Structure 1
Amino acid sequence: MPTNFPEHLRTQNCLVFSIAIIIVVLLSHGLQAQQPPEHNNTADASRDNKAFSPIEDSLASPRETMFTFLEAQSPALHGRPDALARAINTLDLSLVENRQSTDIINQLIGILNRIGEVTKTQLPDADEVIANGWRRFKYFPTASHNWIWTHLGHGPDGEIILEEIQGKWRFSASTIAGLDTLYRSMIDLPLTYTPQEEPDELIGLFGATFQKTRWWQWFALFLGILLGLVAGKLVAALLNNTSAQLQRNGRETQGMALKDISNPIGLTLLTFGLMVGLQFPHLDPGLQAFVGKIIQFLFILSLGWILFNLVDVVELALQKLTAKTETQIDDMMVPLIRKSLRIFLVIVFSLFVAQNVFGLNITGWLAGLGIAGLAVSLAAQDSVKNLFGSVTVVLDKTFLVGDFIRFDGEVGTVEEIGFRSTRIRLLSGHLVTVPNMKFIDNKVENIAARPYIRRQMDVTITYDTPPNKINEAVQIIKDILHTHEVVKDGRFDMDNNPPRVAFNELNADSLNIRAYYWYQMANDPDRGFFTYLQHAQLINTMLFQRFAEAGVEFAFPTQTLFLAGDPARKLAIEAQINKNGDETPRAYT
């Protein structure tokens, strides 16, 4: 959750988030009751047998066992633990290991749906069992099921048998053990029984709650939520203030830890208030169990949120360790470790909640990761390229965090190298995000890696500069570049790369003197482009001063008009007149 929101907005978001989860999940529970899945179509197969009602699940006959199972399976598959216990009580699971009971119930009801509607005349009652001395009853297949051979072209691969063990009739252990094989052999059969929907089931889920809950019980629920919200806000404010004091005193790690847990603690207290408040309204057993799961989920969410935020503390500790080393590779690994830890926590949290809170079978999910991985790899080729791009950048040391680079016409400082992209802060202040795969096939200029900055300085003077002044201008530039202050500040390598100055070009509108010098960086983090500019300013200022003292004029792109009356620049015709002593002008062509 973003941490840059105001405190009161974050607290309100926690409340809205919690209540929204409860509403959405409860509504989904009701909607699932209105639209049962395919394997639950015999949930109400006993509607035509309402006269029969097993008493306390005695399981005294195959009939009682079958109809107990049929009555319990639908609410069991919708998350009611009491119904799930009733359904499991009808099954002999002694030969089954490592299988979800909901999977077994799903498959058994799927087979019964394909066989046809279950009626009480198909199964013996307690009197018939006693009269015939039966301890084993074969429900399927029988002679009435010969149509299955015609439809499938083969018989069902298994049986449904009920056996009496210590006075209780249950679906036999062999039936449960071979259920998966039997279900697969009959999967091509159509559903021969589909019950009518009950549109009022969602209303029935909440009807007793609204009818039996009195006003003071609703008020107690409201009061529990309010107290939890206020307590969470106060504790969060206290932790944030303590965090600020610790950080001001230099205890940055402890301060960040308190700040990271402040908001999750607020959610924890709000959930606790909600849990206390929910003790007062009337909830039927199914709804109460489901609300309990939501409360459990919110507590686990608070813990997961705390661990997710505390990754910042781990990152801070790693940054302090990497700051002691000279290499920057470990600095680049810190953001990658942070993101990896958070992704790991999210995955573990999701799997834990799915299996331990909502009772989902994650084994099937994990088994399907192989096929899903192929599909994801095809759909996420660019993401994989970006991942390999980040690995290439790190291993090749193309650039490091903090380096000044030029890429795709943009110049800026590398702020972060992630799994998918790299963030570059431009000189304009804009933040540019570049996919890492682009660094594999494109040229990257690492300006920070250069040992020096070579300056090519062109000094232009006017065409009417006398030769002696040209030589003087060249010497002035040489003297400036050999000045102690300039050499020391620029750290010139006077042995290998001394400054070079030469009168090298006759431009269209100026005489050009070119100078080269190398401003040394020497891997000094305190020296960079802006210190180079200060050094260049020193040279330029000295050059202007020396040229002004020597009377050397700078040239710039202009067109010069010589006037006849200009005593500084006499025309050639006037010079000829003065030479001949003849005042009559002569025309020259």
Structure 2
Amino acid sequence: MTAFAKAIARSLLIVWAVLAANAAFAQVPVPNGNGNGAPAAKVEEKPADPLGRDTPAGMVSGFIDAAAEQNYDKAAQYLDLSQEKGAWGPSVAQQLQRILDQGGYVFSRLRLSADAAGDQDDGLAPDQDRFGAVRTENGPVDLIAQRVDGKDGVKIWLVSAKTVSDLPALSRTVTSSLVDKILPYALRDEYRIAGVPVGHWLAVIVLAVLTFSVVWAITAAILWVVFRFRGSESRISRVLGASALPIRLFLTAMLLRIALVLTGVAIVARQHMSGATELLGWIALSWIVWRVVDALAEYAIARMTLRGRLSMLSAVTFIRRSVKFVLIAFALIAGLNALGYNVTAGLAALGIGGIAIALGAQKTIEHLVGSLTLVTDQPMRVGDFCKFGETMGTIEDIGMRSTRIRTLDRTLVTVPNGALAAVQIENYSRRDKFWYHPTLDLRYETTPDQMRNLITTMREMLLEHPKVDNDPARVRLLGFGPSSLPVEIFAYIHAVSMDEFLEVQEELTLRLMEIVEASGTGFAFPSQTVYFARDKAPSSANRSPQLAPAEHPDSESDSPNRRAGSAIRA
């Protein structure tokens, strides 16, 4: 597996660990509960090796650290000396360091296996792993690590007995490195920083400057050729121009690793620089992808805008942000791995904490799913005028978590995408036609002939107008209203915007007014007819005997007023 593939695998393993922890936690029996849960059996944990030889990566790191301290007694404990009778361990360890300094190299942290079982897909025996190689005249010779039984039955990784037995022959094939040939004795052997001669650190600085200069010159020439023949506005020119600096940094990091090996810089210095170059390489690679995504997104937005495919702008923006989010996650994980942090084990060890994080992120995941729904279904896009719930406004941005809407009051409303995907959205910008539906209230004095002529003239006016759809373009007398004769007009207007519709609507309304005026009738005003009547007062002969004047002393004085008041009715 390549380093990049391993980084992806580790990232996927992190996601799987969080999800698996959630499922596993749900299946854990509860002690002292309903009595069904059995007590968990104690798992006997094997003690960790104090020298970190549990994995091939730990073995290599421990040997390099011991060599940097010039503690060759400790470094010898990373070698399998079982087949070397009478061999002095510190001398063998020093011999291995000299071979690595002058003609050998070890793999980076990303390539070395951090699994106790080692890399099972390298084509070697299950208990063997490659951890480096030595360049010889007959080709590279692999350096093999072997998993053996240590003290107390603990499995540990050591430099294999076969590799240890080959060290004398390998030492005769390597010569003094180019750096050692150039440096004076004082810079080569006397003064050391972090276990590395000062001269080798100076060589690292010089090689870094020279590598960057060469890469800059080569890339500048390539860019000049591309801009000369493709133009500065072409897609490839935009991508290369935007990512020129990170490309140079990435190439510098890769070539510097090769230059350090070829010039024979000390293995300890190379291992110290390995983490820095890997980190720089991942940062540069992430930077390149970031710039490429931006350049391609801007190019796609410009082309879609030019072609009028505005519905895809929101999808491009969402994909752009999603790729950047994933890119940051991968870069962070790879960068921590390059610095020597075991991110996978650390996150997997969170256990219940990972479950809590997953539960706390439910709303965030809901909004991300809502974002995917909005992008795939595309009920709205940036620039559309929509109504959802009680809010109306223009969509300004559809993000990964929320959508921003500019209301008619010019306020900015931010709505989570999870909530927005669950409500009814009315998109006014997606109308293919505008409904023109006025009702004209004509006076009751309008004669049938006037009404027939009026309806015919209105229908002809609608059919002749270029912006009015002929199907249906209907004009009908609805019946008898309370105070008018209602005439319904039903038509659709072809318009691309509300402003254009309002303009056509105004023109049609004015023509309707002219037609009504020319027909000799007019519009009815809301009115109500009130009728007044006076009832006659009953005569005394017909009055009931029970209503005697004695019983109603004021009947004579008040009766005329009462009769007058009761006679007025609306």
With normalisation by structure 2, the TM-score equals 0.45
Which structure has greater helix proportion?
1
Query: What is the TM-score normalised by the length of structure 1?
Result: 0.44
